[in-house]
A and B are shown apart, each in its own frame.
Chain A
């Protein structure tokens, strides 16, 4: 088991979180979290319910006030408003599938773009071509989509903003196996296109498959850091911090 040490990535990482603390009222939720994600790297953040994985991501995005160091592309983003953080190229797919229910699927995707009709690596038509379910409902209010479709839509919408690093919070939670597979494929494609990913997951299989590094969180800080191989070999960590 490795204590949080200085990062092992060769050049300065794209996202660097050091000694991050966060509070909800008086409760001290994050107690010195250390993680980093290099350019193009796929990293997973695992842990049981309630250990503070979502709070870590929210603190990085500025949705929860961060105390500590958060650098993105070499500059501090602590205290920046969320929209400025997003404009630096940091994408966020929250865990509750926050689609805009009154807008159509197409409008949801269009609002993913930071400027009207400025295409990045991901184009609206490509998204619709890839996901027939979304294409079929392109002109209907997104509020009627199924859970899996909503998940696809939130991921696609964030991609429309052309981020360089995308943080995805529990994309497969509560989804049927077939949809889980589709979500996994999309994440793989995101990685294949060279984006960096910080993935929060419960399902070990996906995380082990696609990650180059894995962090395990327990009670407000990182308790394990290593490769998927390291984790597979470390039954103690899995028993103590992951398995139910």
Chain B
């Protein structure tokens, strides 16, 4: 039973020279000489989808950092926990109850972590907080392995959405992916409206930059911290629930995604929500396009007639395709960002 090994969802099948768009148990073949427009359209859709999923997680991470000054290493673990809790509920009661209750449960776990963990550790300084979230990530991974094992679980797309929504040229685009897109968009819009239109949202915005001043005005800042941490964990859990059936629900999923989240938060600018959105989309598109392109240096310079000696390191490098280096592109971006613009795209925080 084949599954895409990780986000993004386009895979290049080197053996046949065809594109395989894998989705759960379904694979869609695209002929090698498929339309460029088709490739661009599908990759854009996939890239935006991947980006929005990343944003569901990065938004909470950056809010938590900005407000509490805590870089939460366990954030991707809430994404993993969301997928597993969603899976468990889906086995008992179906996908839809899982979509509702898993984020609520994980959000509750997040609040408890803040209230009884972080808040106490906070007194001992930032390093202690960092180590705490670091340890928490391992604990959560171990716990998930004890309960659900190390092998991927069979988290399925709900039957209601298990069909192809439309066909572009030769690509069938799954309805479930459109659903993921819609959920991510709706949550993004909801989050934005909450932050800008409601009083609680305004207090959160104010606390992002001036938590002490907000407290001096009589607002219960510890409660706000707990809520934001809970909502952040819940958002990550939603990402887990909706991505779980499309990808692999496995205890390693947190470790795979965690580093990318940090890249996004740093590239976007620590504490900047709009920066996190831009960086999420950027990395989503970058990785999706990189993976779906099969260009190598050899292809780019084939016209020049230059070709390194066979069986040399140079020759090997020459033939590395963009798809193969796709996984390191985010980190390359991170390094470049730290060198040329340490505050990130939209960051204004010094430390």
Query: What interface size band does chain A fall in?
Result: 20 to 34
CB distance from B161 to the nearest CB of A (A): 38
| Interface: B256 (CB within 8 A) | no
Enumerate chain B residues within 8 angstroms of A102, measured Cβ to Cβ: 205, 208-209
A63-B212, A82-B212, A98-B210 in contact; A103/B205 too (CB < 8 A)? yes
Enumerate chain A residues within 8 angstroms of B168, measured Cβ to Cβ: none
Question: In the complex the two chains form, is A101's CB within 8 Å of B209's CB?
Answer: yes
**Which of A43-51, A110-118, A176-184 has 4 or more CB atoms under 8 Å from chain B?**
A110-118
A83-B220, A116-B199 in contact; A111/B212 too (CB < 8 A)? no
| Interface: B216 (CB within 8 A) | yes
Enumerate chain B residues within 8 angstroms of A94, measured Cβ to Cβ: 213, 216
| Interface: B219 (CB within 8 A) | yes
Question: In the complex the two chains form, is A98's CB within 8 Å of B213's CB?
Answer: yes
Enumerate chain B residues within 8 angstroms of A63, measured Cβ to Cβ: 212, 216
One of B199, B202, B215 near A86 (C-beta < 8 A): B215
Question: In the complex the two chains form, is A110's CB within 8 Å of B222's CB?
Answer: no
Enumerate chain B residues within 8 angstroms of A92, measured Cβ to Cβ: 216
A112 to B217, CA, bound (A): 6
One of B206, B213, B218, B222 near A114 (C-beta < 8 A): B218
Enumerate chain A residues within 8 angstroms of B203, measured Cβ to Cβ: 111
A62 to B312, CA, bound (A): 67
The A-contacting residues of B in range 158-216, CB under 8 angstroms, are: 199, 202-203, 205-206, 208-210, 212-216
One of A100, A110, A112, A157 near B199 (C-beta < 8 A): A110
Enumerate chain B residues within 8 angstroms of A107, measured Cβ to Cβ: 202
One of A61, A83, A111 near B206 (C-beta < 8 A): A111
A101 to B202, CA, bound (A): 12
| Interface: A81 (CB within 8 A) | yes
CB distance from A107 to the nearest CB of B (A): 5
Residue-wise, chain B 215-253 has the 8 Å CB interface mask toward A (1 for contact) of: 111111110000000000000000000000000000000
Question: In the complex the two chains form, is A103's CB within 8 Å of B218's CB?
Answer: no
A100-B209, A102-B209 in contact; A111/B215 too (CB < 8 A)? no
Question: In the complex the two chains form, is B215's CB within 8 Å of A81's CB?
Answer: yes
Enumerate chain B residues within 8 angstroms of A114, measured Cβ to Cβ: 217-219
A112 to B219, CA, bound (A): 9
Enumerate chain B residues within 8 angstroms of A116, measured Cβ to Cβ: 199
A98-B210, A100-B210 in contact; A157/B216 too (CB < 8 A)? no
The B-contacting residues of A in range 51-83, CB under 8 angstroms, are: 61, 63, 81-83
A59 to B202, CA, bound (A): 27
Enumerate chain B residues within 8 angstroms of A203, measured Cβ to Cβ: none
CB distance from B278 to the nearest CB of A (A): 17
Question: In the complex the two chains form, is A83's CB within 8 Å of B209's CB?
Answer: no
| Interface: A220 (CB within 8 A) | no
A92 to B218, CA, bound (A): 10
Enumerate chain B residues within 8 angstroms of A36, measured Cβ to Cβ: none
A63-B212, A81-B222, A110-B199 in contact; A103/B206 too (CB < 8 A)? yes
A101 to B213, CA, bound (A): 12
A25 to B212, CA, bound (A): 19
Chain B residues packing against A (C-beta within 8 Å): 199, 202-203, 205-206, 208-210, 212-222
Pick the 7 closest A-B CB pairs, nearest first. Answer: A86-B218, A82-B215, A98-B213, A100-B206, A114-B218, A83-B215, A92-B216
Given contacts A83-B218, A102-B205, A114-B218, 16 further A-B contacts (CB under 8 A): A81-B215, A82-B216, A86-B218, A92-B216, A100-B206, A100-B210, A101-B209, A103-B202, A110-B202, A111-B199, A111-B202, A111-B203, A111-B206, A111-B214, A111-B217, A111-B219
